[in-house]
Structure 1
Amino acid sequence: MLYFDHCASTPPREDVIRTMMEVMAKHYANPSSLHQGGVEAGKLLERSRAVVAAAFGTSQAEWTFTSGGTESNNAAIIGATARYRNKGKHLITTQIEHPSVYDTFRRLSNEGFRVTYLPVNEQGTVAAQDVAAALTEDTVMVSVMHVNNEVGSIQPIAEIGAMLNKHRKVLFHVDGIQSVGKLPIALREWGIDLFSASAHKVGGPRGVGLLYTRHGVQLEPLLAGGGQEQGLRPGTENVAAIVASAKAFRLALETREARSARMFGLRRRLVRCIGEIPELVLNGAAVSDEELSMTAVMAPHIVNFSYPGMKPEVLIHTLEENGILASTKSACSSKEDKPSQVLLAMGLGKERASSGIRISFGDEHGEADVDYLCGKLNEVVARLKPFERKE
């Protein structure tokens, strides 16, 4: 099987698996315990935090380990708005956020906050000037994802951060779950106050997330309990998974440039193929030769296209019969029989929004894999064409 669903979850690296197994076997003590076993586990925990901090160029105390990207997003948004509620009750986000962000803001809107959901253009990008125009004296937080998880559009995080630097009362949260290990990230230079990441998107185990909280920013914890993770995230830490995750993050960031360049090439190859199949239409921008750089408007590992007139699950299952695993919307929303909220927000219409397919690359893919996918897409579309819905 060819696995083209890396946005949902990546295969764990073999060296990461070995690390996790070794730590599970040797360091099973509670890191909060006072005996030698607990002390050793605690040292591993803090060493992992130091590895993450060094990889991102920040201080160790600014990182919290969570159970994943969803918890990190919730902890950042709910924790900050609860802590700074007295400073303002206006929040700004976009119409294309992941459900762990979008639905969190919907919840807050039911709790007395006023939320502005900014539109995006046809490429899936929000304009920094629209963020600036939406600011009010009551604004306390702006949350914008770095890379959209469905279409791969890159948001102007550096530009937004520079603008918000003039409004220091406003906290800037970035969901970086799909950008870590694929694009450059400069937390301090871009003025980011809160940043979320997830280990299983970079070859690490599921069940571990990262939350960066800039020094000086305070959060109210989501949970009550012990004093773990500097009191922000109570509960016994999963030391083995955290150590393995820290390794996965370090490796992903160290090898990012070469891996991104290779995946940009794969993306361009697949986009060209899609353009040659009349029944398919690309969602988001193509990648030209000039854009094959770190200033591209699309992430290197994601291609989204629609087959108007065809239910996406039909195409997904037919591809699977041919040894190809792909997806529709985000994994969190893929079982919902609704048009893609992201594609609708991009103004692409209900028909395209109801037939979107996402291909996401990983380290194991090469040109031969993309060529195989292209060949099967041609065969599958030709076979399904007689069954297209005629509106």
Structure 2
Amino acid sequence: MIYFDNSATTKVHPEVMKTFVAVNEKFWANPASIHEFGHQTNELLQTARKQVAEILHTSADKIYFTSGGTESNNLAIFGLANKYKNRGRHVLVSAIEHPSVLEAAKQLMKNGFEVEWIPVNSEGVIIIDALKKLLRDDTVLVSVMHVNNETGVIQPIQELIAYIRGNSRALIHMDAVQSFGKLPVDFAEMDVDAITISSHKIHGLKGSGLLALKTFIEVEPMLLGGGQEYGIRSGTTPVPLAVCTAKAIRLAQDHLQANASKLKKMTDELIHFLVSFPAIKIISPSNRAPHIVSFSVRKIKGEVLINALQQKNVIVSTSSACSSRHTKTSHVLKAMHLQDEYIKGVIRLSFSPLNTKEEIDQFKKVFTNVMNVIKGD
């Protein structure tokens, strides 16, 4: 099987799985227990937290382990907006955010906040001039994803940050689920206030991730109870998942440059191949993350192409795993004003360092044969 759907989820790294088994076998105590076994388990948890904090350049007590990207994004949106609502109740969110941000923002509206959507251009890039017009003195939060999960477009984060910092007191949340491990991501590199990371996008385990805050930034908790995770996320912390999240983050960070270079070379080769088909339009812009290629076949439904490739043991997806099972057109593609003849035929190829040159070569052969059958050439 050739698996090119790594933006949906990645295969667990053998070292991460090895760590998961070891921690479950040796450190299965509740880290909140006061006995020595619980203390030892808590020490392991805090070591994992410190390791992540060092990589992201923040304080260890600002790393909150969660169940993944969706929970982390919800915690950021609700937690920051509510904590700092004395600054204002105006929130800005880009029009192409992940549903876990969009739906949380819509809920804020029901809770008395005013939310406005920052438009993007035809490449999916935030329109800076539009942001400048929307930003207000009472804007409390701006949420922008670093890399879009459907097209791979990289947002001009540094330019956005510079304007927001210079013209408001708004907090900045960055969804880095698709960028961490492919691009530099940390609080020293980017002057944001909150960063979301999901473990299973970087060869970690599903059901785990984190929200990281810049030192001195606070959030209001969403889960109340025993006060775990510094009172922000109550409930017994799953130490094996937290430790494995830290392991996946360390592996991704240690091999960042080499992996990014490898992925860019593979996706550049694929784009060069795909543009040779007259019916294909490349959706991903030139300013894209190294691991995502989004394209569309004119007047062909994406599901048709996916099924045809699947019969040849090639796994790809439509715009995103979160929307591929629904018939609604992607909100990202709508925001980009993609032409009607292409909007139903979008395919996303997404890669990881585990993919090989041999898989790329095999994909070319399979894809050419499938296209000849579908187009009747």
Q: Matches of 1:47 and 1:382 in 2, distance apart?
A: 55
Q: Matches of 1:168 and 1:185 in 2, distance apart?
A: 23
Which of 345, 356, 361 is residue 351 of structure 2 equivalent to? 361
**What is the Cα deviation at residue 152 of structure 1?**
0.1
**Is residue 374 from structure 1 mapped to residue 369 from structure 2 by the alignment?**
no
The equivalent residue for 1:291 is: none
The equivalent residue for 1:384 is: 374
Tell me, what secondary structure is at the counterpart of 1:144?
strand
**What is the Cα deviation at residue 189 of structure 1?**
4.2
Q: Matches of 1:264 and 1:31 in 2, distance apart?
A: 41
Tell me, what secondary structure is at the counterpart of 1:261?
helix
**What is the Cα deviation at residue 110 of structure 1?**
2.6
**AA in 2 matched with 1:56:** L
**AA in 2 matched with 1:59:** S
Give CA-to-partner distance per residue, 1:267-325, whole Å, 9 cap, x none: 11010111011222110224xxxxxxxxxx11000000111222211111110111111
Tell me if structure 2 keeps the 8 A contact 1:341–1:353: no
The equivalent residue for 2:65 is: 65
**Is residue 182 from structure 1 mapped to residue 182 from structure 2 by the alignment?**
yes
Q: TM-score, normalised by structure 2?
A: 0.97
Tell me, what secondary structure is at the counterpart of 1:200?
helix
Tell me, what secondary structure is at the counterpart of 1:86?
helix
The equivalent residue for 1:159 is: 159
Tell me, what secondary structure is at the counterpart of 2:33?
coil
Q: Matches of 1:118 and 1:62 in 2, distance apart?
A: 28
Tell me, what secondary structure is at the counterpart of 1:161?
helix
Q: Matches of 2:262 and 2:368 in 1, distance apart?
A: 24
Q: Matches of 1:187 and 1:252 in 2, distance apart?
A: 17
**Is residue 304 from structure 1 mapped to residue 312 from structure 2 by the alignment?**
no
The equivalent residue for 2:230 is: 230
Q: Percent identical across equivalent pairs? A: 40
Give CA-to-partner distance per residue, 1:322-377, whole Å, 9 cap, x none: 11111112211111101121112111123322221100011122222112112211
Q: Matches of 1:222 and 1:32 in 2, distance apart?
A: 20
Could you tell me which runs of 5 or more consecutive residues in structure 2 were left unpaired when the two chains were aligned: none
Number of residues paired by the alignment? Answer: 377
Tell me if structure 1 keeps the 8 A contact 2:226–2:235: yes
**AA in 1 matched with 2:159:** E
The equivalent residue for 1:256 is: 256
Tell me if structure 1 keeps the 8 A contact 2:68–2:206: yes
The equivalent residue for 1:49 is: 49
The equivalent residue for 1:205 is: 205
Tell me, what secondary structure is at the counterpart of 1:220?
coil
**AA in 2 matched with 1:311:** K
Q: TM-score, normalised by structure 1?
A: 0.93
**AA in 1 matched with 2:354:** E
**Is residue 349 from structure 1 mapped to residue 346 from structure 2 by the alignment?**
no
Could you tell me which runs of 5 or more consecutive residues in structure 1 were left unpaired when the two chains were aligned: 287-296
Q: Matches of 2:339 and 2:103 in 1, distance apart?
A: 22
**AA in 1 matched with 2:293:** V
**Is residue 135 from structure 1 mapped to residue 135 from structure 2 by the alignment?**
yes
The equivalent residue for 1:292 is: none
Q: Any runs of at least 4 consecutive aligned residues in structure 1 with deviations exceeding 6 A, and if so which? A: none
**AA in 2 matched with 1:130:** A
